[in-house]
């Protein structure tokens, strides 16, 4: 039963990512984006569009709604562990941020704020982290990154680390401790380096490159969630399978 619930959760998350990406424009407000994303009118071409099926209108327009109700009932019955749902939301937000930053060089504040709030609640309720610990490490992380950002700008007279990246790393500090966060940033830099070397030739062009670092931070965070919280998730999968 757990496998079916996980497949349903994965489909729901991927469908939400698809709808959010198809309706996103950098100039619109967060409220307008949310309204267009949850609109029942389907967006984009799907495999259901080319296949005439009975009740196709209901499948296209209300499948996500009924799927949410089904997953909520499974969670209340204890057949779908809440930590898996939380980490599914974590991955969904990060994949959205990765795609948006890749195409638009932008990290929307509402998504970053949602990631921060979800991380604060999850760390206190699921991982037993003290609220003051989360506040201190998030504040220290934000302050240190602002100092690095200011020093680089004063030396090079250009932006080295975007404000969106600073906010994203601060939000990730609500999910990971400082040791895990330092590994996350290091791993993101390692996977960003080949991209830079392939896209730009020569040191001069490399120093002038604009890199969607939020994309690599998001992908690194997904890997680090599996790396550092694997021991927390595997017993749940074994218990409910």
Whether 134 and 76 share a structural domain:
no
Query: Is residue 86, in this structure, part of any structural domain at all?
Result: no
Q: How confident is the model at residue 71 (pLDDT cuts 50, 70, 90)?
A: confident
Q: What average pLDDT score do residues 103-119 get?
A: 92
Average pLDDT estimate for 115-144: 91
Q: Give the percent of the chain with pLDDT over 70.
A: 80
Residue 227: give the domain boundaries: 113-241
Planar angle of CA 71, 24, 197, nearest 5 degrees: 105
- Is 130 a member of any domain? yes
141 part of a folded domain: yes
Rounded CA gap, 76 and 14, in Å? 22
User: Which pLDDT score is estimated for 183?
Assistant: 94
Residues 151 and 65 in one domain: no
Q: What does the pLDDT look like over 93-103, one tens digit per residue?
A: 999 999 999 99
For residues 131 and 208, membership in a common domain is answered with: yes
| Statement to judge: residues 51 and 128 lie in one domain | no
Can you tell me the distance from the alpha carbon of 139 to that of 136, in angstroms, rounded to the nearest whole number? 5
Pick the last residue of a domain from 28, 60, 80. 80
Shared domain for 65 and 126, answered yes or no, is no
- Radius of gyration, CA atoms only, the chain: 20
pLDDT at 144 over 50: yes
Same domain? 41 vs 157: no
Q: Burial-class residue 184 by CB neighbours within 10 Å (0-12, 13-18, 19+).
A: buried
Question: Which 8-state DSSP code applies to residue 107?
Answer: -
Q: Is the Cβ–Cβ distance between 105 and 212 less than 8 Å?
A: yes
In a shared domain, residues 117 and 234 = yes
What's the first-to-final CA gap in the chain, in angstroms? 7
Q: Note if the pTM is more than 0.75.
A: yes
User: Are 125 and 239 part of one and the same domain?
Assistant: yes
Could you tell me if residue 97 is inside a domain? no
User: Is residue 69 located within the same domain as residue 177?
Assistant: no
Tokens (6 digits) for 124 = 């206190």
- Same domain for 70 and 124, yes or no, is no
Number of domains in the chain: 2
Q: Is residue 92 in a domain? A: no
Residues 54 and 163 in one domain: no
Confidence of residue 194 (pLDDT cuts 50, 70, 90): confident
Instruction: Answer whether residue 87 is part of any domain.
Output: no
Q: Where are the alpha helices (DSSP H) in the chain?
A: 2-23, 30-37, 56-76, 82-104, 109-125, 131-156, 163-172, 178-199, 203-207, 213-240
């Amino acid at each position: 039963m757990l496998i079916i619930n996980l497949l349903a959760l994965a489909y729901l998350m991927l469908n939400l990512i698809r709808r959010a990406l198809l309706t996103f424009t950098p100039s619109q407000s967060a409220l307008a984006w949310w309204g267009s994303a949850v609109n029942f009118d389907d967006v984009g071409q799907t495999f259901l569009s080319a296949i005439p099926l009975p009740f196709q209108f209901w499948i296209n327009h209300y499948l996500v709604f009924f799927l949410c109700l089904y997953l909520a009932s499974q969670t209340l019955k204890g057949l779908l562990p809440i930590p898996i749902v939380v980490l599914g939301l974590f991955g969904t937000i990060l994949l959205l941020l990765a795609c948006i930053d890749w195409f638009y060089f932008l990290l929307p504040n509402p998504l970053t704020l949602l990631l921060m709030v979800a991380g604060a609640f999850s760390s206190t309720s699921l991982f037993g982290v003290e609220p003051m610990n989360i506040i201190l490490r998030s504040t220290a992380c934000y302050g240190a990154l602002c100092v690095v950002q200011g020093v680089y700008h004063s030396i090079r007279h250009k932006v080295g680390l975007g404000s969106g990246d600073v906010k994203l790393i601060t939000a990730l500090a609500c999910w990971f401790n400082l040791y895990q966060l330092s590994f996350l940033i290091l791993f993101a830099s390692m996977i960003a380096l080949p991209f830079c070397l392939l896209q730009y030739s020569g040191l001069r062009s490399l120093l002038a490159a604009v890199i969607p670092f939020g994309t690599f931070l998001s992908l690194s965070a997904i890997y680090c969630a599996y790396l550092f919280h694997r021991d927390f998730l595997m017993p749940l999968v074994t218990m409910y399978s």
